[in-house]
Amino acid sequence: MAKFAEHLPLYRQSEIYARQGVELHRNTMGRWVDIMGEQLRPLYDELKHYVLMPGKVHADDTPVNVLEPGQGKTRTGRLWVYVRDDRNAGSTMPAAVWFSYSPDRKGIHPQQHLADYRGILQADAYAGYNALYESGQATEAACMAHARRKIHDVHVRHPTTVTGEALRRIGELYAIEAEIRGSPAEERLAVRKARTVPLMQSLYEWLQGQMNTLSRHSDTAKAFTYLLKQWDALNEYCRNGWVEIDNNLCENALRVVALGRRNYRTWFLPGKGNGTKESWFFRNRPHHE
């Protein structure tokens, strides 16, 4: 399991074994991975069913470089991640992560993944999810961390009192979340209604006032515009105690992919008898912070 626990590519494992006097070709190990993946496929399907039960699910995606055997060049595929984790709202149900691969980032992929899902979908502003929201099968919950990051990036490049004040106000929202993390959803919602809603309203009015003075083409205005366009979805956590302030649960789950990307550089095209398709399964392990 060094391929998945230590993110050690099979060719490097083969070299390690060779130095120890053991001839074990990476193709052989790749076939082992294929076999294990097929044997465990029912578990993979059951994991998908568990993660995508009605309620709340977090979604995100990340690019992966994919090498198709015989082509000699890479292309950019996509790895989709879905997280069920309600521990911040006091749930004792196990957290879990489900991954799926696609050759591109077309919206049809998450739409197919979530075809039977009903509930809250917490994600970024990717347009591919819009069909799910428009059909009414999913309720959009946006990511405050994503909105904050846009402001933070501007502040790092050109710090001003305006960007600093925006970050301070958002920081107050996160401070409340830190206090109620792990509390039951009902308690979280009560606190948010009493303390967060007034702060969100104040932030909205302040942002609108700043937009009246900023150049529409400035980086600060663009960052604020993103936040304002997402305003209703950003407020979903003020209406539902199960919803998080952001989508960081997904970003945490994707760290395992970042580690693998650092070592693998490229993935082989799934389904070519090299263990790659099954790699997506073996990365579907329970998520822990």
Using CA atoms, how far apart are residues 172 and 267, in angstroms rounded to an integer?
Answer: 42
Q: Do 136 and 272 belong together in one domain?
A: yes
- Mean pLDDT in the chain? 87
Q: Is residue 5 part of a domain?
A: no
Residue 219 lies in a domain: yes
| pLDDT for the residue 23 | 85
Flag whether 197 is in a domain.
Answer: yes
Query: How many other β-carbons are positioned within 10 Å of the β-carbon of residue 278?
Result: 24
Q: Are residues 149 and 192 in the same domain?
A: yes
The range of the structural domain enclosing residue 96 comes to 45-140+268-282
Residue 74 pLDDT = 78
Q: What is the pTM of this model?
A: 0.84
Least confident of 6-20, 69-83, 171-185, 252-266: 252-266
Would residue 257 count as lying in a domain? no
Residue 188 lies in a domain: yes
Q: Is 199 a residue whose pLDDT tops 90?
A: yes
185 in the same domain as 106: no
How many structural domains compose the chain?
A: 2
152/113 same-domain check: no
| Count of CA atoms in the C-beta half-sphere (13 A) of 227 | 29
Contacts of 156-160 with CB under 8 Å at 24 or more apart are: 157/219, 158/219, 160/220
Closest CA to 271 of 33, 26, 5: 33
